[in-house]
Structure 1
Amino acid sequence: MDTEDVSWVADEFGFASLGDERRTDRLVKLATSLAESPTASFPEALKSQAELTATYRFFDNDQIDAENILASHTGASLDRLGSVPVVLSVQDTTEFNFTSHKALEDAGPLTHANCQGFFAHTTLAITPERVPLGVLSQLVWAREKDPPNKRATRKNRPIEEKESNKWLLSLQATIDIQAHCNGTQFISVGDREADIYDLFLVDRPQNVDLLVRAAQNRNVESEDGTVESLLEQVAQAKAATTVELQVPKRQQQPARQATLTLRYCKVTLCPPQYRAKEKLSPVEIWVVWAVEENPKKGVEPIAWLLLTTCPINSVKAALQTLDWYACRWGIEILHKVLKSGCKIEARQLETADRIKRCLSVYSVIAWRILYATMLVRCVPDAPCTALLDPDEWQALYCAIHEVPTPPDEVPSLYQAVRWIAQLGGFIDRKNNGQPGVTVLWRGFQHLTDLTKMYRIFNPRSPS
């Protein structure tokens, strides 16, 4: 393998099983070039016409499966996953709009029917401290145009024929990965779209749990054997504590501080009435309800109703559940990086299969950008070699300090990431807080160029 390959790229992509070692070598080379300039177009990112042609051929190769590209990264993530006690396996769906690509084949309608493109359902592993450990799975599909009677037949179709089956498939991917990380507890986290009865019926191993935001006021069994609504039963639970929450500014509503009342209890969910013939089992589950009971006039109250298979036997456990659910924003940021940072919707690839292969590569690149952003917030005093190769931090130090020779002492992760952010336009002031994803992906592009020059003028530097 080329010694000029960025080492993290080789670690994440170098074990892809693509049927031929030369394809894997090509994957590492093209991923290296694309990672160096994630916002650039292919002609801008690739060094020659030969590389550009080889890249298009790679994405056009029907013998290369997008899942196998991602599987190399997922395999590389196992050590990271197995090194922590709890992993939040966060799922979310996004759409990629290719309406302007008139030559694109196989696209389908998006949320707005006059738009064309693809949906992607991604599962990202995140620690409770918000550090992303890897992309666990990704489903990509085009939605077919709805037949006239689709809504009328929805309840009669099996889950396997519904788009909502994505939640079960992603949960199964998490279960498969957990089998390689016996000491780690995995919590599969989903938003209100994941409130599907079939999800709670999946046979899970002991170390895989669910955390879902409720979308339905389901029927539950009461103590006297009758049926009442979920909200009625949880409202009867004793208020456990209150939580102060700083609510950011929203459309036509100023920033404010909200007081949430926290309740939790165990309930038994009744199967959906329209599925009575299936004789489904009831489901015992824990509920955490955080609600703003006395909002100011004209303000929409905050209410989180969470369903989890994790036992909630204390206020601490209930608060932990709220915090775990708040980690969902990490997957939303990953999708933002794919769109804004990696410019997926601008890629001219013309077919769905090419886009799937391309998305697999860029999903790992986007993960790496997010990983750098969050790792420094978790372990700021760690040596920067946790993220950077020696020649990268040395080139960075020399550029920032305008000196020809770096020190022997390795800088901290906190220092190095702020220097990278400075390359991306971040102004390092005390009141500016932590650098965000945008300045870091710009900074990493500049760092790539600096490292190349450093290698030229310091040929003995490690690579």
Structure 2
Amino acid sequence: MNTSTHNPAFWEAEMRGAKLPDERFRPNLIRMCCQMQAKPGHSFSAACGPSVRKSAHRLFSKDASVDIQQGHRQMTSQRCQSQGLVLVVEDTTDLNFSGHGHTQGLGNLGGRRDVKGLSMHSALALSTAGEPLGLIGQHIWASLSSGRSQHERTYPIEQKESYKWIRTKQWVNDWLSGYTGRVLVVGDREADFYEHFAWPRQEAVELLVRAGHLPRKIHHNGALTTLGLLPQAAEPLGQMSVEVSRQRDRQPRTARLQVRIAPLSCPPPYAKSGPRVPMTLVHVKEQGTQGGDEPIEWFLLTTMLVSSFEQACQIVGFYALRWIIERFHFVLRTIRLGIVAITAVCIGMATTRESIFELVAESSAFSLVSLFVPLAAGLYWQRANQLGCILAMTVGLGTWLLCLQLDTSYPPLIYGLLASIAGMLVGVVVGKR
């Protein structure tokens, strides 16, 4: 999206189609968006102020008749019209609220002990160049308890948590129904199950999923075999390079991949009925790595027709763009981490400053030294990590406050900004080890 989100006209257009119980809520809804965008590290109350907060409380109390994202989805659909092919990348993240012991309605995120929180599944539309076009849909829910998850296999697919992947196709069918181009829905290994492949979709909607169950039975050239053995039956077509994003156990790097393709059909699993789903396997394997990183090997299943090396490389490039939805979720989690610490500092500043004008003058510098670097790095730098963001906020803020006390010759915000950048770099370097 090329339109600046700092422009109130942008939010007016995005919220024009929002479903509201009363039109009188719309001006305040637009103000909420503008003020939250201008103060991304603040809590909702701090960013919006008392009057807008009261309006928000009245609005959100009418949840049965409110759909704020409806207007944004309509604008996303309009932005997709100029694209010949739209990628819809999807992913799930957890929102940890374990520190909110008295909050009701939270789910169990699992782990060694009960971790209270919510789960969020987002579907983001992208151009083939990786430019975000907007959210197609977003679903937030309280995860199933451990007691129910033990018996989840006996539930129909509509009642399982994995239905979130099928729900994305329904969002695509609903919100891109008037779109005349093609749509490629890109999912990770959790989306590798038969019901997802076989679920009805529009003719122009295709799937791209990284396989996670290699022992599964598939049909290739009339013979029954397993997916993990299929690359042995395909000749290598060539090599390509791809930028690999950061993960917890892997540093970002440029990988050199050998490419193979093979047609197949995916039958229903044992004791289930349904048609075979024709697909193509695009198999890529990294040829040598540096350091202790494990070589990349991707089994990519797609319903798109892939018959050449160039088409296979294009499919791999599309899958690599999934890092954008991961960075989107990373930025949301990073903002939540800084709210508590920043709020504490704000309270301290408010009780020590003698003039409101002095507080207003320092507010912009405060955001620059604490939030600018982690937000910018989280959006545009693949190597940014959580440690770097925390150090950028704390070191930048601490340096700025120290320079205010020392009355330095140069403006304290310069020292704070440089310290914030240094904190990010140190966090990235230390995080590699």
Q: Is the 2:245–2:323 Cα contact (8 Å) retained in structure 1? A: no
- Structure 1: distance between partners of 2:333 and 2:269: 38
SS class of match (1:307): strand
5 Å-filtered alignment, 1:159-308, equals 159-182=157-180, 184-217=181-214, 218-223=216-221, 225-245=222-242, 258-275=255-272, 279-292=273-286, 299-308=293-302
Post-superposition CA distance 1:147-181 (Å, at most 9, x none): 27x43x44332111210001101111112222121
Q: Quote the residue 1:313 is aligned against.
A: 307
Q: Quote the residue 1:22 is aligned against.
A: 24
Q: How many pairs are equivalent?
A: 347
Q: Compared with structure 1, are the counterparts of its residues 258 and 78 closer, same or farther at alpha carbon in structure 2 (3 Å cutoff)?
A: closer
**Matching of residue 90 in structure 1 with residue 89 in structure 2:** yes
1:293 is displaced (CA, Å) by: 5.2
Range with bigger deviation, 156-165 or 240-249? 240-249
Post-superposition CA distance 1:130-157 (Å, at most 9, x none): 1000111011110232227x43x44332
Structure 2 residue identity aligned to 1:95: D
Q: TM-score, normalised by structure 2?
A: 0.72
**Matching of residue 339 in structure 1 with residue 311 in structure 2:** no
Structure 2 residue identity aligned to 1:221: H
Q: Quote the residue 1:404 is aligned against.
A: none
Q: Quote the residue 1:70 is aligned against.
A: 69
Gaps of 5+ in 1: 347-368, 375-421, 428-463
- Structure 1: distance between partners of 2:61 and 2:7: 23
Gaps of 5+ in 2: 1-5, 341-374, 381-413, 420-433
**Matching of residue 141 in structure 1 with residue 141 in structure 2:** yes
Q: Is the 2:106–2:142 Cα contact (8 Å) retained in structure 1? A: yes
- Structure 1: distance between partners of 2:33 and 2:18: 12
Q: Give identity over the alignment, percent.
A: 30
Structure with bigger RCO (C-alpha 8 Å, 6+ apart)? 1
Q: Compared with structure 1, are the counterparts of its residues 303 and 64 closer, same or farther at alpha carbon in structure 2 (3 Å cutoff)?
A: same
1:344 is displaced (CA, Å) by: 10
Post-superposition CA distance 1:432-457 (Å, at most 9, x none): xxxxxxxxxxxxxxxxxxxxxxxxxx
1:60 is displaced (CA, Å) by: 3.3
Structure 2 residue identity aligned to 1:179: S
1:258 is displaced (CA, Å) by: 4.4
Q: Is the 1:90–1:188 Cα contact (8 Å) retained in structure 2? A: yes
1:186 is displaced (CA, Å) by: 0.7
SS class of match (1:46): helix
- Structure 2: distance between partners of 1:136 and 1:16: 14
1:230 is displaced (CA, Å) by: 1.4
Superposition CA RMSD, Å? 3.3
Q: TM-score, normalised by structure 1?
A: 0.68
Post-superposition CA distance 1:346-382 (Å, at most 9, x none): 6xxxxxxxxxxxxxxxxxxxxxx99xx77xxxxxxxx
Q: Quote the residue 2:120 is aligned against.
A: 120
1:243 is displaced (CA, Å) by: 2.1
Q: Is the 2:126–2:132 Cα contact (8 Å) retained in structure 1? A: yes
Q: Quote the residue 1:157 is aligned against.
A: 155
SS class of match (1:147): helix
Post-superposition CA distance 1:98-154 (Å, at most 9, x none): 111123110011132421010011100011111000111011110232227x43x44
Q: Quote the residue 1:326 is aligned against.
A: 320
